[in-house]
């Protein structure tokens, strides 16, 4: 069930509705939007009789939600969610780039890569310190020693730290000295981990499970949001198919498909999505062209020596070239959505890349680029 408040509803009217929802035993999730606040209701196992809410002050309408997910949907929040960590964002007009090694291996490696990531203008540094590995005999991550290095990278470079919580206790550690909790493909349906991340104040980057449907993936996000954490970034990283030319099949159609259903930002990981360095840049370009809010890219100062995912790591120069290319593509995609005469956030922050302009594009609201169904 979803309670849509009138555009002019006051804070105390919203609080009163929240109070009543909670008094009758459900959980209320107020979502302020640009034009109105909607309040999602969870905690019910069957349908709720919504009529009790209909006459409350400030309520515009009560909508029965028939989809299995409630909080991830555009019905609840028609405006896109922008996930913010200080001045670093994912989901607004600036392309969000999360880059770094697969695993943190030593201080020199992490610092060399972080320097490249900083140079690229990316704001997020990734790297596993706890690694979920298929084989118990391969590099398992440095654990707490790696976490010390990650914290030093954060101090030294001012980059926001994204690292994977393989188990619940890792969330505690990330909360102390990290910025974004990654939940990996293998853990997409680890429900206790999802709930723990849902109780965190940090944003959660939720990778798609390697055999997950869109609905299962969105329901995993719903687990996090149902606990009160609405800062979820979805990450398409490919699914298992019969194809043998790639490590996974990168399902880029999920990007517009998610846009049509959800307000959550969605990024693409072409590194795990292909498993092979030469495919990473083409698929990164395609992901951005498909409308992704950002990318996750594995980069290594010496890919041939990497302790994990060596074949898919880009060299620093390949990575820097990728960033230049995807930004140019993003400016085109972004310009087609910006208000006429307005600047994209990324245009105001940095010099325009040359070689193209948006003057010929249709910026009229209601044009194909503006179709609300494509949000």
From 91-99, 143-151, 178-186, 342-350, give the range in contact with ligand PEP by CB under 6 A: 178-186
Identify what 207 binds: ligand PEP, Mn ion, none; CB under 5 to 8 Å per kind: ligand PEP
Pair 79, 34: CB distance under 8 Å: yes
- Given a contact cutoff of 8 angstroms between Cβ atoms, the answer to whether 291 and 259 are in contact is yes
CB-based burial label for 337 (10 Å; 0-12, 13-18, 19+): middle
Closest distance of CB 357 from ligand PEP, Å: 36
Question: Among residues 58 and 127, whose Cβ is nearest to ligand PEP?
Answer: 127
Q: Give the Cα separation of 42 and 2 in Å (integer).
A: 9
Report which residue's Cβ sits closest to ligand PEP: 184
The one segment of 56-64, 84-92, 183-191, 239-247 that binds ligand PEP by CB under 6 A: 183-191
DSSP 153: H
Residue selected from 123, 272, 300, 330 as contacting ligand PEP according to rule CB under 6 A: 272
Burial pattern 36-71, b for ≥16 Cβ within 10 A else e, equals bbbbbbbeeeeebebeebeebebbbebeebeeebbb
Residues 214-243 that bind ligand PEP (CB under 6 A): 237
- Cα angle, residue 249 at apex, residues 247 and 250 outer, rounded to 5°: 110
Q: What's the min distance (Å) between Cβ of 137 and ligand PEP?
A: 17
Question: Among residue numbers 290 through 309, which ones bind Mn ion (CB under 5 A)?
Answer: 309
Asked if 128 interacts with ligand PEP (CB under 6 A), we say yes
Which of these segments, 16-24, 66-74, 91-99, 181-189, binds ligand PEP (CB under 6 A)?
181-189
Part of the chain binding ligand PEP (CB under 6 A), chosen from 21-29, 184-192, 213-221, 312-320: 184-192
User: Residue 306 CB, nearest distance to Mn ion (Å)?
Assistant: 9
* Contacting residue, 185, 194, 225, 255, with ligand PEP by CB under 6 A: 185
Stretch that binds ligand PEP, among 9-17, 72-80, 148-156, 182-190 (CB under 6 A): 182-190
Residue 194 CB, nearest approach to ligand PEP (Å): 14
Q: Which is nearer to Mn ion, 102 or 283 (CB)?
A: 102
Structure tokens at 109: 């490696």
Which pair of structure tokens corresponds to residue 322? 């990728």
d(CA 189, CA 96): 25
CB of residue 199 to ligand PEP, shortest distance in Å: 21
Return the residues of window 131-150 that contact ligand PEP according to CB under 6 A.
132
Nearer to ligand PEP, 116 or 190 (CB): 190
Residue 52 C-beta-side C-alpha neighbours within 13 Å: 11
Nearer Cβ to ligand PEP (101/198): 101
Residues with Cβ within 8 Å of residue 247, at least 6 apart in sequence: 238, 272, 273, 274, 275, 276, 312
Residues in 67-86 at the binding interface with ligand PEP, rule: CB under 6 A: none
Return the residue of 3, 62, 102, 266 that touches Mn ion, per CB under 5 A: 102
C-alpha to C-alpha distance for 195 and 148, rounded to whole angstroms: 26
DSSP string, 267-334: EE-HHHHH-SHHHHHHHHHHHHHTT-SEEEEEB-SSGGG-SS-GGGPBPHHHHHHHHHHHHHHHHHHH
- Pick 37 or 116: Cβ nearer ligand PEP: 116
Cβ burial of 294 (10 Å; 0-12, 13-18, 19+) is: buried
Q: Bridge-partner residues for 206, per DSSP?
A: 183, 234
Size of the site for ligand PEP (CB under 6 A): 9
Distance CA 314, CA 303 (A): 7
Nearer to Mn ion, 58 or 238 (CB): 238
Give the residue, chosen from 141, 184, 291, 316, that forms a contact with ligand PEP under the rule CB under 6 A: 184
Residues that bind Mn ion (CB under 5 A): 102, 309
Residues that bind ligand PEP (CB under 6 A): 102, 128, 132, 184-186, 207, 237, 272
């Amino acid at each position: 069930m979803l309670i849509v408040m009138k555009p002019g509803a006051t804070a105390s009217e919203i609080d009163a509705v929240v109070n009543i929802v909670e008094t009758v035993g459900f959980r209320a999730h107020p979502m302020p939007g640009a034009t109105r606040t909607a309040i999602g209701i969870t905690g019910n196992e069957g349908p709720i009789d919504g009529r009790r809410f209909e006459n409350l002050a400030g309520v515009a309408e009560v909508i029965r939600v028939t989809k299995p997910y409630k909080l991830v949907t555009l019905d609840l929040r028609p405006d896109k969610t922008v996930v913010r960590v200080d001045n670093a964002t994912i989901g607004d007009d600036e392309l969000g780039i999360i880059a770094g090694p697969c695993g943190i291996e030593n201080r020199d490696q992490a610092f060399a890569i972080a320097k490249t990531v900083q140079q690229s203008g990316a704001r997020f540094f990734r790297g596993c310190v706890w690694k979920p590995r298929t084989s118990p005999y391969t590099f398992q991550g440095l654990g707490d020693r790696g976490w010390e290095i990650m914290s030093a990278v954060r101090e030294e470079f001012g980059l926001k730290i994204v690292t994977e919580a393989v188990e619940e206790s890792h969330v505690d550690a990330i909360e102390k000295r990290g910025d974004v909790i990654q939940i990996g493909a293998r853990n997409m349906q680890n429900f206790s981990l999802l709930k723990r991340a849902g109780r965190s104040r940090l944003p959660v980057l939720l990778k798609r499970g390697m055999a997950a449907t869109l609905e299962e993936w969105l329901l995993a996000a719903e687990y996090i949001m149902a606990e009160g954490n609405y800062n979820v970034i979805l990450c398409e990283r490919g699914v298992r198919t019969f194809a043998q030319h790639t490590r996974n099949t990168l399902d880029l159609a999920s990007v517009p498909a998610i846009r049509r259903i959800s307000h959550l930002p969605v990024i693409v990981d072409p590194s795990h999505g292909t498993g092979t360095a030469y495919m990473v840049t083409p698929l990164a370009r395609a992901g951005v062209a498909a409308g992704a809010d950002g990318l996750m890219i594995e980069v290594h100062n010496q890919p041939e020596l990497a302790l994990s995912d060596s074949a898919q790591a880009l060299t620093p120069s390949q990575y820097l070239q990728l960033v230049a290319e995807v930004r140019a593509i993003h400016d085109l995609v972004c310009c087609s959505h910006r208000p006429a005469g307005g600047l994209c956030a990324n245009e105001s922050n940095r010099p325009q890349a040359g070689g193209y302009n948006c003057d010929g594009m249709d910026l009229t609201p209601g044009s194909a680029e503006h179709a609300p169904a494509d949000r």
